[in-house]
């Protein structure tokens, strides 16, 4: 366990550093969107392209892994929406609560952390889960969030906007280009590849630092919007779903699929379980702010899952080792 903590500690320490820097205004809040843009549009796509190009294309197109992970993501979304709805929490807040429960922080944290723990072979299954969350889970939850007082056309319009946002997101395209490069066994000319590798090397530290800064910024936004205390029952169950139920569900579904004869690689399953054990994706707080959901609730869930995952994620790694 100590060996695992020695690997995971620097990753979570960088998140804390970003949080402290933003809270103490060493990093101006106005600069956080610039950091986020650098990570989203330059560093992470470069990292994902690099991993994708060096991963056997069969791992990026593993239908068995995709089916298992997608089924679990949909189950988590359905459960959280169903159990969250009450007089205060309607479709908008319930849907973003479901998204923050089902969408791990795979891009900003998971891929580099899992590669550090398990080796380069972990990149393929982790990237596959990212595609599911970026394309299906996010689009579904955004569409559901529009059902408050809207007819089916409102949900359809939200789904179209979500799909447009996904099409403009550079990360799926970087994965796709990496997959093509892997399938054709080609890579860019040396100066271009060296530039890509330099950007990829910056992805992990800057992304982790940015997670902390985004969380601090979300707290400022939430404090400005909310004056009454947030009831524990509105966010703690979602934290438990994210850190405990989601990985257990992927573990159980994966082993059930193997028992039924589905050709699911056990190493890929272990990677997917650890992806599900990651804290919630920090960009959900930005999405909730954009769509008018309760950003304070979403930020609280992300904050708690990120803090608790230092222990819970490390324990999951130790149990699967």
Contact (CB, 8 A) for 108 and 306 = no
- Locate tokens 């903590």: which residue? 5
Neighbouring C-beta atoms of residue 143, cutoff 10 Å = 20
Contact (CB, 8 A) for 51 and 119 = no
Domain boundaries, the chain: 2-320
* Confidence band, pLDDT 50/70/90 cuts, at residue 262: very high
Residue 45: both structure tokens together = 């796509």
Contact (CB, 8 A) for 76 and 98 = yes
What would the mean pLDDT of 91-115 be, rounded to a whole number?
93
In this prediction the pTM is 0.89
Q: Give yes or no for residue 151 having a pLDDT over 80.
A: no
**Residue 279, pLDDT score:** 96
Please, which residues bridge with residue 104 across strands? Answer: 280
Residue 121 — φ and ψ, nearest 5°?
-65, -20
- Integer CA distances (angstroms), 234 to 93, 98, 239, in order: 10, 12, 10
Helix or strand or coil: residue 308?
helix
Distance CA 105, CA 195 (A): 25
What would the mean pLDDT of 260-281 be, rounded to a whole number?
95
**Residue 149, pLDDT score:** 60
Residue 290: both structure tokens together = 């954009």
CATH topology classification for 2-320: Na+/H+ antiporter like fold (1.20.1530)
Helices (H), the chain: 2-23, 29-38, 44-53, 57-60, 63-84, 91-102, 111-118, 123-132, 138-145, 152-168, 170-184, 190-225, 236-240, 246-259, 266-276, 283-290, 295-320
């Amino acid at each position: 366990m100590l060996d695992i903590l020695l690997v995971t500690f620097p990753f979570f320490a960088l998140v804390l550093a970003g949080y402290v820097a933003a809270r103490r205004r060493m990093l101006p809040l106005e600069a956080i969107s610039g950091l986020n843009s650098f990570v989203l549009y330059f560093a992470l796509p470069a990292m994902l392209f690099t991993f994708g190009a060096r991963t056997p294309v069969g791992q990026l197109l593993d239908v068995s892994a995709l089916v298992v992970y997608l089924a679990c993501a949909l189950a988590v979304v359905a459960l959280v929406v169903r159990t969250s709805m009450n007089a205060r929490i309607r479709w908008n807040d319930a849907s973003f609560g479901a998204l923050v429960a089902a969408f791990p922080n795979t891009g900003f944290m998971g891929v580099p952390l899992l590669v550090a723990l398990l080796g380069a072979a972990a990149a393929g299954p982790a990237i596959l889960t990212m595609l599911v969350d970026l394309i299906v889970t996010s689009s579904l939850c955004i569409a559901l969030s529009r059902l408050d007082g809207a007819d089916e056309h409102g949900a359809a319009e939200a789904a179209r906007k979500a799909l447009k946002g996904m099409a403009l997101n550079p990360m799926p395209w970087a994965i796709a280009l990496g997959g093509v490069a892997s399938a054709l066994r080609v890579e860019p000319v040396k100066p271009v590849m060296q530039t890509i590798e330099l950007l990829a090397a910056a992805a992990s530290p800057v992304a982790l630092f940015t997670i902390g800064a985004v969380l601090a910024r979300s707290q400022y936004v939430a404090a400005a919007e909310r004056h009454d205390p947030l009831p524990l029952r509105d966010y703690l169950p979602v934290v438990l779903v994210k850190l405990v139920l989601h990985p257990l569900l992927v573990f159980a579904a994966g082993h059930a699929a193997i028992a039924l004869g589905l050709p699911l690689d056990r190493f890929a399953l272990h990677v997917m379980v650890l992806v599900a054990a990651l804290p919630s994706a920090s960009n959900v707080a930005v999405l909730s702010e954009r769509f008018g959901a309760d950003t304070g609730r979403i930020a609280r869930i992300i904050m708690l899952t990120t803090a608790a995952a230092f222990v819970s994620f490390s324990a999951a790694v130790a149990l699967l080792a």
